[in-house]
Amino acid sequence: MEMGIRENLERVKERIARAAQSVGRDPGEILLVAVSKTVEPERILEAVEAGVTDLGENRVQEARAKIEQLGKVARWHLVGTLQRNKAKYAVRLFDMIQSVDSVPLVLELEKRAAKEGRTVPVLIEVKTSPEETKHGVAPEEVDELVDRILEAEHLVFKGLMTIAPFVEDPELARPSFCLLRNIKERLENRGVLVEHLSMGMSGDFEVAIQEGATMVRIGTAIFGSRNY
Ligand SMILES: *Cc1c(COP(=O)(O)O)cnc(C)c1O
């Protein structure tokens, strides 16, 4: 039998705390983003009532319907690939866009954010594994993208995001997280502040925390398996 959202959330929080403590980190520096894609609004609200402060969605259209129904019950993060023609809605709807992956997208977001009179915090999505299906920029392209974001008046560079390869053994995801941390260190050596490393999902978040995650994006472990 599947446990309730509240119980699942408590369990996840305990696991976050344990993972942080295993490497001497303060669990308070890790933000839990509950990924609510495919989850109905009623159950999202249940998670919010149980203490979730940040929600992640991967599609603009789906998020739009939910945000219109539920309102700003939490901070909404876009964690899925963003097409340029949806940039206008994305800057209106989301408190953070975690999936910035090209210069043209940066320019479009800047234009739209300026028009809306908004300032949008963003993360760069980095491809940290060779899997064909993964989105994101190559590690060697991160610097240029950071520079373009820093030039954009209505975007605020907040850090890096990655999706590790889907593997049975979470240890096999570690190189991916380690690479993202190395890119953060490289940027900081250039004087660029990298506040967030968004990495770790239901299957691998403990390893991500050991490698320095400040945001974990967790769906299944909170809401149960998704029915598409
Ligand atoms: C779906 C999704 C998650 C959450 O995945 P789970 O394995 O269900 O925890 C995290 N990040 C992104 C980008 C996603 O699309």
Relative to beta strand 215-218, strand 155-161 is unpaired
Candidate from 2-16, 95-109, 176-190 with smallest mean pLDDT: 2-16
d(CA 137, CA 128): 9
For the chain, how far is it from start to end, CA to CA, in angstroms? 20
11-56: pLDDT as tens digits? 999 999 999 999 999 999 999 999 999 999 999 999 999 999 999 9
Ligand 1 proximity of 90 Cβ (cutoff 6 Å): no
Read off the tokens for 174. 């570690």
**Closest residue by CA, ligand 1 atom 13:** 79
State the chain's mean pLDDT as an integer.
Answer: 96
Residue 2 binned pLDDT confidence (cut-offs 50, 70, 90)? low
Question: CA-to-CA distance for 171 and 169, rounded, in angstroms?
Answer: 5
Beta bridge partners of 159: 123, 196
Question: What separation in Å is there between the alpha carbon of 6 and the centre of ligand 1?
Answer: 19
Q: Give 125 Cα–ligand 1 centroid separation in angstroms.
A: 14
Q: Which residues are registered as beta bridge partners of 161?
A: 125, 198
Q: 5-223: what fold?
A: TIM Barrel (3.20.20)
Model pTM greater than 0.85?
A: yes
Q: For the chain, how many helices (H) and strands (E)?
A: 9, 8
Q: Does any ligand 1 atom lie closer than 6 A to the CB of residue 80?
A: yes
With CA atoms as reference, report the closest residue to 74 among 34, 40, 113: 34
Query: Whole-angstrom Cα distance, residue 135 to residue 162?
Result: 9
d(CA 45, CA 35) in angstroms, rounded, equals 13
Are the CB atoms for 206 and 169 separated by under 8 Å? no
- Binding site membership of 163 for ligand 1 (Cβ less than 6 Å): yes
The domains of the chain are located at 5-223
Ligand 1 site, residue 215, Cβ cutoff 6 A: no
Check pocket membership of 219 for ligand 1, CB cut-off 6 A: yes
